[in-house]
């Protein structure tokens, strides 16, 4: 049973204290799909121009990622984003965002995608996320992420979209912006009134907190970030967290309703999310995914268990 992933496939320019790459494969849906593909079959929905390199399509195909929903616009150019990181890599400044073919992206799911049970809606305009959700006929578990721009300027549209999601995955600043609450626990309680029964708040290198509403009460689970010896490029780490989290749930056949979803499955999914986010930072762009194996993933998962048990 496959996971459908919607979002950006892009070229990125990235500068960190460890180096600079002018143009390399990126995009939220790229990272999400690569990470999730270690756990479950993935079908990608995105748009690219005719500058999309065959070797980049080849990397996705080599991971078994379905590309029937990857629309190619003749004469168009891929979405391009570039950014520079601060010395500690906790701050990122966007230098350039060229939407190119992404500006007219109206995702249309191939028939072969529509009956899949799992859906991850990457960070695109909320109305488009809603339209993709509406094209799916048998969703068991759907969720996604968003960003400050949509929260601030497309609030009504976003709230309508969120109503149909099982989970939302955002960072702490976005959770505060969305809820209007500075206290994270109160922010989570408000967001869990908006539709999703599960909220994952990403906290960068400090890990993530999962909140889940079931039977009228809210439980939470806190996972630290994996302590890497060196971080080369954090770009895509949040997306890889999303891919690991959702891929893990899809791979285990998790079911839709809050009551059916086992909290232990959710906790495991958060740890796999952290594991995948950590691998992403070890090399520039998607490079770590060229060699990563399931054995590497399981070894780090066990290390995580060992260093958080008490």
Interaction between residue 8 and ligand AMP (CB under 6 A): yes
Give the helix ranges, DSSP H, for the chain.
28-36, 54-62, 111-114, 126-135, 148-153, 155-162, 172-179, 184-191, 237-251, 263-280, 294-308
| Residue nearest ligand AMP, Cβ-based | 26
Residues 89-128, one symbol each (x = binds ligand AMP by CB under 6 A, - = not), give --------x-------------------------x-----
**Secondary-structure breakdown of the chain: helix, strand, coil percentages, each rounded to the nearest 5:** 40, 25, 35
CA distance 86 to 91: 5
Which of 2, 4, 5, 26 contacts ligand AMP by CB under 6 A? 26
CA distance 198 to 217: 12
Which of 49, 207, 236, 244 contacts ligand AMP by CB under 6 A? 236
Interaction between residue 284 and ligand AMP (CB under 6 A): no
- Residue whose CB is less far from ligand AMP, 102 or 213: 102
Give the helix ranges, DSSP H, for 252-293.
263-280
Q: Which of residues 161-200 bind ligand AMP (CB under 6 A)?
A: none
- Residue whose CB is less far from ligand AMP, 4 or 192: 4
Name the maximum alpha-carbon separation found in the chain.
57
Place of tokens 């601030």: 152
Which of 4, 237, 275, 276 contacts ligand AMP by CB under 6 A? 237
Q: 125: Cβ–Cβ under 8 A, 6 or more apart, which residues?
A: 150, 154, 157
CA distance 233 to 230: 9
- Binding piece for ligand AMP, criterion CB under 6 A, among 126-134, 188-196, 234-242, 297-305: 234-242
The burial of 137, by beta-carbon neighbours within 10 Å (0-12 exposed, 13-18 middle, 19 or more buried), is given as exposed
Q: How far is CA 226 from CA 92, 104, 105, 166, 257, in A?
A: 20, 38, 35, 26, 30
Interaction between residue 144 and ligand AMP (CB under 6 A): no
- Residue whose CB is less far from ligand AMP, 107 or 236: 236
Size of the site for ligand AMP (CB under 6 A): 14
Interaction between residue 279 and ligand AMP (CB under 6 A): no
Which of 3, 5, 28, 34 contacts ligand AMP by CB under 6 A? 28
Interaction between residue 235 and ligand AMP (CB under 6 A): yes
CA distance 100 to 76: 7
Least distance between ligand AMP and beta carbon 6 (Å): 11
Interaction between residue 81 and ligand AMP (CB under 6 A): yes
- Residue whose CB is less far from ligand AMP, 8 or 37: 8
Least distance between ligand AMP and beta carbon 96 (Å): 10
Interaction between residue 238 and ligand AMP (CB under 6 A): yes
CA distance 228 to 252: 28
Where along the sequence are the contacts to ligand AMP (CB under 6 A)? 8, 10, 12, 26-28, 81, 97, 123, 235-239
């Amino acid at each position: 049973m496959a996971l459908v992933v919607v979002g950006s496939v892009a070229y990125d320019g990235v500068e960190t204290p460890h180096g600079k790459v002018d143009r390399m494969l990126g995009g939220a849906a790229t990272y999400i799909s690569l990470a999730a593909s270690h756990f479950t079959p993935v079908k990608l929905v995105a748009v690219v121009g005719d500058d999309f390199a065959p070797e980049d399509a080849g990397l996705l195909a080599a991971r078994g990622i379905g590309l029937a929903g990857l629309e190619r616009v003749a004469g168009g150019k891929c979405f391009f984003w570039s950014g520079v990181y601060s010395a500690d890599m906790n701050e990122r400044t966007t230098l350039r965002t060229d939407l190119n073919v992404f500006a007219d992206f109206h995702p249309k799911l191939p028939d072969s995608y529509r009956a899949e049970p799992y859906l991850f809606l990457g960070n695109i305009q909320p109305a488009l996320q809603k339209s993709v959700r509406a094209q799916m006929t048998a969703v068991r578990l759907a969720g996604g992420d968003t960003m400050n721009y949509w929260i601030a300027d497309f609030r009504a549209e976003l709230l309508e979209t969120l109503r149909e999601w099982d989970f939302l995955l955002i960072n702490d600043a976005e959770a505060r912006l969305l809820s209007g609450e500075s206290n994270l626990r109160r922010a989570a309680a408000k967001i869990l009134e908006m539709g999703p029964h599960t909220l994952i708040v990403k906290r960068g290198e400090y890990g993530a907190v999962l909140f889940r509403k079931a039977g009228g009460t809210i439980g939470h689970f806190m996972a630290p970030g994996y302590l890497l010896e060196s971080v080369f490029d954090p770009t895509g780490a949040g997306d890889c967290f999303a891919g690991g989290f959702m891929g893990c749930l899809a791979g285990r056949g998790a079911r839709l309703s809050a009551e059916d979803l086992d909290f232990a499955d959710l906790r495991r999914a958060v740890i796999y999310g952290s594991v995948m986010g950590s691998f992403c930072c070890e090399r520039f762009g998607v490079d770590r995914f060229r060699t990563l194996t399931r054995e590497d993933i399981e070894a780090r998962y066990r290390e995580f268990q060992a260093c958080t048990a008490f």
